[in-house]
A = this chain, B = another copy of it.
Amino acid sequence: MSKGVRKRDFPLGNVRRYLEPGPIVLVSSASKGKTNIMTMGWHTMLEFSPSLVGCMISSGNHSHGMIRESRECVINLPTTALTDAVVGIGNSSGADIDKFAQFGLTAEKASKVGAPLIRDCHANFECRIVDDALIARYNFFVFEVVKAHVAPSPKHPQTLHYTGDGVFMVSGKVISRRSKFRPENL
């Protein structure tokens, strides 16, 4: 993902295209004049429209408090070009360092939220908290994606999928079974 590729607005009802396959994402946030980034693997789509995403963000993460406070974040989709940054971000704390500076990432102004986009990522999903009922019990945030930006190419970016123990699965080949689907299920 080159920093020069311009992203396009992406339909909010299609966000599952990028999140349902289960990639590691980078969550950026801003609060009280500071920004932060965390690595996140525990997330799921919850609804097409409104576009809802549920995320487990442990209270041990510095980002947890920043997101609760600002009630916003950006979910950014990194590719394998950012593997080292993904690992570094997941193994350091925003309480100690400025992660944008430390990992050479470019913050870009979002359209609808105060949290910055990570320009170097393939896609950026601007999010607002819409339900905090399960934060206390499970650190589970329900976000609505209110704006989506996606690079037009490559069509199938190489994403990272975490298995634990320092090991990632990289997205592989793409197969279509479209002809075997009921039209209403597509």
Interface positions of A (Cβ within 8 A of B)? 14, 16-18, 20-23, 41-47, 52, 54-56, 83-84, 87-88, 90-91, 131, 133-134, 137-138, 140, 142, 156, 158, 161-182, 185-186
A173 — nearest CB in chain B belongs to which residue?
Answer: B170
In the bound complex, how far is the Cα of B59 from the Cα of A47, in angstroms? 12
Q: Is the Cβ of B169 less than 8 Å from the Cβ of A176?
A: no
- On whether the beta carbons of A21 and B91 are closer than 8 Å, the reply is no
**Copies of this chain present:** 2
The answer for the CA separation of A46 and B90 in the assembled complex, in Å, is 17
Contact with A166, one of B23, B167, B176 (Cβ below 8 angstroms): B176
- Residue contact B180 to A174, C-beta cutoff 8 Å: no
Known: A22-B23, A134-B133, A172-B172. A181 touches B164 (CB 8 A): no
A41 to chain B, nearest CB (A): 5
On whether A131 and B137 interact (CB within 8 A), knowing A164-B20, A167-B176, A185-B90, the answer reads yes
- A91:B185 contact, CB within 8 angstroms: yes
Query: Taking A87-B180, A172-B171 as contacts, is the C-beta distance between A164 and B134 under 8 angstroms?
Result: no
Query: Is B167 a contact of A178 with CB atoms below 8 Å?
Result: yes
A131, B56: Cα distance in complex, Å: 15
Residues of B contacting A165 in the complex (Cβ-Cβ under 8 angstroms): 17, 178, 186
* Contact present for B83 and A161 (CB under 8 Å): no
Name the residue in A168, A172, A174 with the highest tally of chain B Cβ atoms < 10 Å from its Cβ.
A172
Chain B residues whose CB sits within 8 angstroms of the CB of A14 once the complex forms: 164
- A133 vs B133: C-alpha distance in the bound complex, in angstroms? 9
Quote the shortest CB–CB distance from A91 to chain B (angstroms). 5
Q: Please determine whether B87 and A181 come into contact, CB atoms closer than 8 angstroms.
A: yes
Pairwise interchain contact A42-B44, C-beta atoms closer than 8 A: yes
A54-B54, A56-B46 as given contacts; A174 in contact with B167, CB under 8 Å: yes
